[in-house]
Structure 1
């Protein structure tokens, strides 16, 4: 609801990024305070929601930091690779800090969020993301069948991603060295995202259509979900996280390409913010299911397999 307003206000998205970084630091500090309490569960969910708000604002600002729309795909790929590198690099120290105390690792992340808020305030542009209202042509283009179908596919991939993140986080709490395992899972997920974003140009050279990439991504996630459910081990869960994150990133590149080719007259900032909002809500919904149900490891992996199978079949049929 407030997204269109933020797009029109000069510096609106920039202030959102700053506020989210500060709030994430506060939430992490609260997690340290109530680490052994049931309050940790809603705080973890709040942290996930704030992460999604940041992702939406980042998508809205991307067209503001490139010289032309033709550079958006490359810029998104570079941001994805950088995110993967930083996530992978941070995963190791986080696991080591856990050996001292899990709260030390959380404290380090709070410091990182505060530094991010300062950098966002001083470095991000202060211009409006989308000062004008959407035209009828833009609205017509954004409702084309190709975009509608692709929106379902990428949303389904985000559901599995959000579910696996919190499913592993809470399931591993009861396992030996659970926090260290979870740190490794985050590192693997970041590395797979990095690899996926780096393969964007390779996929284009293979001349695969964007819809084929989305079908393949859902199919592979479904297959690995079933295999992980069969084994039910921590290692299987970490492999599934890598697959979900990697093919989720591949699907995102395909989805962005579909939006660009089917809605050439749309305001990129507004379009990407709109769809990223829906994608992040899908990821939050997946995480909420994991928090509410708290399934066992194997059952959670099976849930990913079932959902991805149904989503793949539906998308393939509609396409």
Structure 2
């Protein structure tokens, strides 16, 4: 038989209600009483029955986190951060993979697993405002990813335009002027690729450099192969930039491979900046300068907002929260010491 609240109460010499208050972290417990109960908990090895606790509240204790591409290191790292943040609230995370397909995003959004989850954190690519407005489910939904929506749900996303401008400003400060952008996409203007391309244009213009659209290369996807192909296409047209700003780290890493194969030196001939600060960017033959979104903050905000709405108390209107980011300067733009950081004035904010 497992250790019960009654066992803990007897060991501590207090009521079962007092033990329950300590276990549930209620505020109105004196530090002395909390320490006394905690000592009994530690001595007996008591573990709360989280399943029973959630069931008493009409919950399953499970939240879902749906991402477009689990094989992408950024989403894998973000999923780990969401799992850690949810554990602080005694929630288990079910990770779902939409493959970036509209039909699967719609299916997840309409909660075909609503009988086993309490709420959903979703990073969509193809959903439109009308899709979200037509959502019939009443369980909480929090949106991640940099795509902007005008829908009545909390949204957590860094400021992509500002982050892109920071990356381009770094390259301009190094004296680079022919800065290519790899990873543009056709379609919706509020997709992350459009926002980062907008930041590229705005920062060049602000510096008095006319954006050269011949240096913008579209990609079919966001992987290493796409980056290698984009860099190859640019060089095969006889266009040799003096810097590259890539939509994400995977595209940047693919571009680095092509540059090495073509005998171009990084950063002497071409400086390269990525976006996401995935683990791989820190351990390549040439470490990658990159924009690092605050992934723990993104995860924490998403889980906190979901749990807040699950609690059922009064909450604010849907918010747009912008976690911070940093530019991590490494060898691909000339850092003499890997890990050198350039701080940014970005901080968590709601909006």
Give the TM bin, normalised by the shorter chain: under 0.3
More strand by share: 2
Using structure 1 for the length normalisation, give the TM-score: 0.26
**Structure with larger RCO (C-alpha < 8 A, sep 6+):** 1
